[in-house]
Chains A and B, each alone.
Chain A
Amino acid sequence: MSDILEVARKQVLEQGVGLCQEQLIEVLRSPDDQLADLLALAHEVRVQWCGEEVEVEGIISLKTGGCPEDCHFCSQSGQFTSPVRSVWLNIPELVEAAKETAKTGATEFCIVAAVRGPDQRLMSQVKAGIEAINAEVDINIACSLGMLTQEQVDELKALGVHRYNHNLESARSYFGDVVTTHSFEERWETCLMVKASGMELCCGGLVGMGETLEQRAELAAQLAELDPHEVPLNFLNPRPGTPFGGLEIMAGKDALRTIAAFRLAMPRTVLRYAGGRELTLGDLGTRDGLLGGINAVIVGNYLTTLGRPATADLDLLAELKMPVKELQKTL
C-alpha cells in the first residue's frame, strides 16, 4: 500500500480527520494499479463514519432555463444558444413529482429553479408548492434557488425547508473560468447564511470542466472547510451550445479517484452522485463509486437530462445490501 493510503487509513479511517489539500493531490495522482485499494479504503471510511445506509433523493426543476447567469457548463443559462427553452412547472405537477419520488423510497425531494436568486414570484410559488406537497406527501423538502438574502434564508427556514443546495461549482482558483456573472465569494456567503440558519447545507460542485488535479483537490478542501451536510458531486456532461459543450467526458478512473478523494476529505458528509455519472462511469462505474465512498444517489431524472431508471439504482443498492435511509420522523 502506498504512503498516502497508509496515512489516510490512520488519519481518516481511525481518527475521522479528513485529508488536507496537499494530501488530496497525492490521492488524485495515485496510479491506476492502486485504484482498487483506494476505493476500498474510501468505502471503509464511509461505513465507519456514516454507516451502511444510502440516502435517496429526487429532484425537479420548478423553473427551467432563461437564467441570467453564465455558468459555462449550464444548458439553462439564457446567455448561450442552448436548445433548452424556459418553462415553469405548475403546482399539481410539482406535487405529482414529489409523489413519484416518494414512491421510490426517497427521503429527499429537491425543488430547483434556474435563477441568480429568487424573486417574489418564485418565493410565492415555492411557498405554495411546499404547502401542497406537505399536504399530500411524506418527504423532506429541499430547495435550490440560487443566491439568497438573509430575509430569504429566514423565509425558507420558516417554510420548513429541510436542506438548501447551493454549490461552489468549482475551486476558488478556477471559478472565474467557469462563471463571470457572480463570484465565488457570493456563493460562499449564501452557504454560510444557510448553515447559520440551521437548515442543512447541501454544497458540492462539478469536476471534469478543464480544472487541474490540484484544483480538484482545492475544491474538495474548500468544501471540507464549509463542512456541508451533503456534497453532491457532478461530472461534466458537456451540453450543446454551452462554452464547455466541446469538452471531453471525464475518464472513469479519474472520476472514481475524485469520489474517493472527496470521501477522504470529508469522512462524515453525505456524498451524493449527482449529474453525469451515467456518461462518465456507466453501470459498472456506478457500482464502483457506491463501493468507493458514495452514500447517496439522485434517482430518476435530472433537471434537463435523464438518469438511468430509478429501479436500476434501487436494485443495485439491494444487491450490494446497502439499506436505503428511511424518513426520520422529526418532532
Chain B
Amino acid sequence: MTTLDMYCGHCGQEQADGSHEDCRRALMLEPPRYCAECRRRMVVQVHPMGWSARCSVHGDVSSDRR
C-alpha cells in the first residue's frame, strides 16, 4: 500500500484515525476489503497464490500491485 492511502483496507476507517496496528497485522493474512481511496467495499477474489480486488470507482488492485 502507498502512503497516500486515505482509508484502512482492513477496517475501512480513516488512516489518520487511530493507529491501525492490528489492521496492518491482519492484512498479512487477509486481503484488503475496503478501497484505500474511497473506503467502498471492494469485490475481492482470493487465488491460491494471491488476490485481486476491485473498487467500482477506483479500479483494480492485487497482491502483485499493492
Residues of A in contact with B (beta carbons under 8 Å apart): 58-61, 64, 83-87, 89, 93, 96-97, 100-101, 104, 240, 278-279, 299-307, 310
Q: Report yes or no: B45 in contact with A305, Cβ–Cβ below 8 A.
A: no
Q: Report yes or no: A100 in contact with B48, Cβ–Cβ below 8 A.
A: yes
Contacts of B51 on A, CB cut-off 8 Å? 301, 306
Q: Report the interface size class on chain B.
A: 10 to 19
Contacts of A302 on B, CB cut-off 8 Å? 46
Contacts of A93 on B, CB cut-off 8 Å? 45, 47
Alpha-carbon separation in the docked complex, A306 to B46 (Å): 8
Contacts of B29 on A, CB cut-off 8 Å? 278-279, 305-307
Interchain residue pairs A-B with the least CB separation, the first 5: A83-B33, A300-B48, A58-B48, A305-B30, A87-B43
Minimum distance in angstroms from A98 CB to a CB of chain B? 9
Q: Report yes or no: A61 in contact with B45, Cβ–Cβ below 8 A.
A: yes
Q: Which residue, B34, B43, B44, B47, has most C-beta atoms of chain A within 10 A?
A: B47
Partner of B49 from the list A100, A303, A305 (CB cut-off 8 Å) is: A100
For A301, give the chain B residue with the smallest CB separation.
B46
For A88, give the chain B residue with the smallest CB separation.
B45
- CB under 8 Å from chain A, chain B span 3-38: 11-12, 28-31, 33-34
Partner of B45 from the list A83, A89, A279, A310 (CB cut-off 8 Å) is: A89
Q: Report yes or no: A300 in contact with B49, Cβ–Cβ below 8 A.
A: yes
Q: Report yes or no: A299 in contact with B48, Cβ–Cβ below 8 A.
A: yes
Q: Report yes or no: A301 in contact with B42, Cβ–Cβ below 8 A.
A: no
Partner of B30 from the list A87, A89, A104, A304 (CB cut-off 8 Å) is: A304
Alpha-carbon separation in the docked complex, A310 to B1 (Å): 23
A305 in contact with B46 given A84-B33, A279-B29 (CB within 8 Å): yes
For A310, give the chain B residue with the smallest CB separation.
B49
- What would be 8 A-B contacts, judged by CB atoms less than 8 Å apart? A58-B48, A83-B34, A87-B43, A301-B48, A302-B46, A305-B30, A306-B28, A310-B48
Q: Report yes or no: B46 in contact with A303, Cβ–Cβ below 8 A.
A: yes
Contacts of B12 on A, CB cut-off 8 Å? 83
Minimum distance in angstroms from A97 CB to a CB of chain B? 5
Partner of A301 from the list B28, B33, B47 (CB cut-off 8 Å) is: B47
Q: Report yes or no: A60 in contact with B47, Cβ–Cβ below 8 A.
A: yes
